[in-house]
Homo-oligomer: A and B are copies of this chain.
Amino acid sequence: MGDARALLMSGVPELLILRLLAEREMYGYELARAVRTATHDAISLGEGVLYPALHSLELGGLLRARRRRAAGRTRVYYSVTAQGRRRLAFLASRWRRIAAAVETALAGPQHA
């Protein structure tokens, strides 16, 4: 057993990214902040997670990227495609199923 770096986090970055971008178009750095805000600092996606995830999601057709210049900087803005929204719905539903199941198991046998 490693000391649990990625433990319990698989799929969570993808889910959060899709969820927050479904709300509004954002660029990477902004999205990183949004994740922290939306989770009250409970979850923070490092850049080594965020950028590869964004690229992979774009490649998979779940996100669309476009470069825009703002404040003299070039930013890459991402928005969710129709396919991305379907994926979000799938992931959210799967999350709820697993979360409920784990919750039930953690609660333990309600000594009948």
Which residues on A are within 8 Å of B, measured CB to CB? 1, 4, 6-12, 14-16, 19-20, 23, 35, 38-40, 42-43, 56-57, 60, 62, 87, 90-92, 94-95, 97-106, 108-109
Chain B nearest Cβ from A26, distance in angstroms: 13
Contact pick for A7, options B20, B91, B109, CB 8 Å: B91
User: A10 contacts which chain B residues (CB < 8 A)?
Assistant: 6-11
Q: When A8-B95, A23-B108, A109-B23 are in contact, do A101 and B57 touch as well, CB less than 8 Å?
A: no
Bound complex: CA A108 to CA B23 (Å):
8
Besides A38-B109, A95-B102, 17 more A-B contacts (Cβ < 8 Å) are: A1-B62, A1-B87, A7-B11, A7-B91, A7-B94, A8-B10, A8-B11, A8-B94, A9-B98, A10-B10, A10-B11, A12-B102, A16-B105, A23-B109, A35-B105, A39-B101, A99-B103
